């Protein structure tokens, strides 16, 4: 299957491209490199041993997007092209509404005349807000978003559900938790632009001496150690879930709504301690004030994807933290 991967040079997108090729598909990357670098393309090619088709295009650029769709005629689309930092979305909401909502609508407007068999959407557990029950399953109600980022994911799900309601395209809404880790080769991984907004990239940059210390956002939450709890899933497992969802939806002509997580929660301090243990390096940190938009704890009930797709996480938290540090060390070479 030829698959258009928007944001395919980004963190999750690049790993998914690798997994698509391993599964025998033909990915086409569309990325404007606002949150990635062109070197990622060459790193993917080194991993898979073949050239990758890619376009340096913004999905908000309608004429160029039309050219790509008309030229490539993809059968499937995996949509990653969105901004993703909770904190930044609070500070700059219009950036998130424009890229995550307006540009999504633009993409749909362009593809509406084409035969797309499956559309996979990169959603998020943030749509659950502060859930009533932990672990959270797909039947949990969507709560009022705690950040503009969370709102754009909920709005994106609604837009896509309405758009594809009477169409032949099968829609996959994947609500995933906290992606971590890197490709085991160390050739691709999370490459934040500027100061990292996510925990693991900041931790590895502190370990590498790029950042002086880590500020833990809040130490007074109602958790065992006072810090927020999240479900950290290896990016390779996450990438694999996208491929399996795409294939299943096409083969079974079925829409999907799935949580993608390990089913286990780890606190910020547990992550720091595990990173130090796995990589034999100390992390300097301090406890700071809470960050607006953060929920206290959330982790997945992943039983539905396990049952429906036969998907299982293959990588442990230790693997994730080891691979993250390996990726960071290779960046310095």
Catalytic residue (one of 54, 96, 149, 202): 149
Cα–Cα distance, 64 to 4 (Å, whole number) = 14
Q: Which class for 207: exposed (0-12), middle (13-18), buried (19 or more C-beta within 10 A)?
A: buried
CB atoms inside a 10 Å sphere around CB 307: 9
Contacts of 203-208 spanning 24+ positions with Cβ under 8 A: 203/271, 203/272, 203/275, 203/283, 203/324, 204/324, 204/325, 204/327, 204/328, 205/328, 206/283, 206/284, 206/285, 207/275, 207/279, 207/281, 207/283, 207/325, 207/328, 208/328, 208/329, 208/332
Omega of the bond prior to 310 within 30 degrees of 0, cis?
Answer: no
- Calculate Rg over the CA atoms of the chain: 19
Cα–Cα distance, 6 to 35 (Å, whole number) = 12
Backbone angles phi, psi at 11, to 5 degrees: -60, -65
Asked if 129 and 145 touch (Cβ cutoff 8 Å), the reply is yes
Cα–Cα distance, 94 to 297 (Å, whole number) = 27
Cα–Cα distance, 161 to 152 (Å, whole number) = 14
Catalytic residue list contains 151: no
DSSP 83-141: ---HHHHHH-HHHHIIIIIIHHHHHHHHHTTS--SEEEEEEEGGGG-S-SSSSB-TTSP
Cα–Cα distance, 109 to 23 (Å, whole number) = 29
Cα–Cα distance, 151 to 148 (Å, whole number) = 5
Residues annotated catalytic, as ranges? 149
């Amino acid at each position: 299957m030829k698959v258009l991967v928007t944001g395919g040079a980004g963190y999750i997108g690049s790993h998914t491209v690798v997994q698509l090729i391993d599964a025998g598909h033909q990915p086409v990357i569309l990325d404007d490199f606002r949150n990635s670098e062109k070197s990622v393309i060459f790193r993917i090619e080194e991993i898979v041993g073949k050239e990758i088709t890619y376009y340096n295009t913004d999905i908000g650029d309608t004429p160029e997007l039309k050219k790509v769709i008309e030229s490539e005629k993809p059968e499937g689309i995996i949509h990653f092209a969105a901004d993703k930092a909770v904190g930044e979305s609070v500070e700059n909401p219009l950036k998130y509404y424009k890229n995550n909502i307006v540009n999504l609508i633009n993409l749909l407007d362009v593809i509406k005349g084409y035969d797309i068999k499956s559309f996979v959407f990169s959603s998020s557990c943030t749509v659950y807000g502060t859930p009533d029950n932990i672990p959270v399953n797909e039947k949990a109600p969507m709560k009022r978003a705690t950040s503009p980022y969370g709102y754009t994911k909920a709005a994106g799900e609604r837009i896509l559900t309405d758009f594809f309601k009477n169409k032949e395209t099968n829609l996959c809404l994947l609500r995933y938790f906290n992606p971590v880790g890197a490709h085991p080769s160390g050739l691709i991984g999370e490459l934040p632009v500027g100061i990292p907004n996510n925990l693991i990239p900041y931790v590895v940059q502190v370990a590498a001496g790029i950042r002086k210390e880590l500020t833990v956002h809040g130490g007074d939450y109602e958790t065992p150690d006072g810090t927020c709890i999240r479900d950290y899933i290896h990016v390779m497992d996450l990438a694999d879930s996208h491929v399996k969802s795409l294939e299943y939806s096409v083969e079974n002509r079925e829409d999907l709504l799935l949580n993608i997580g390990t089913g286990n929660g780890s606190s910020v301090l547990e992550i720091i301690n595990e990173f130090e243990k796995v990589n034999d390096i100390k992390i300097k940190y301090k406890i700071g004030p809470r960050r607006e938009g953060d929920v206290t704890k959330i982790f997945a009930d992943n039983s539905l994807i396990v049952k429906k797709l036969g998907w299982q996480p293959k990588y442990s938290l230790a693997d994730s933290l080891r691979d993250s540090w390996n990726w960071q060390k290779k960046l310095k070479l």
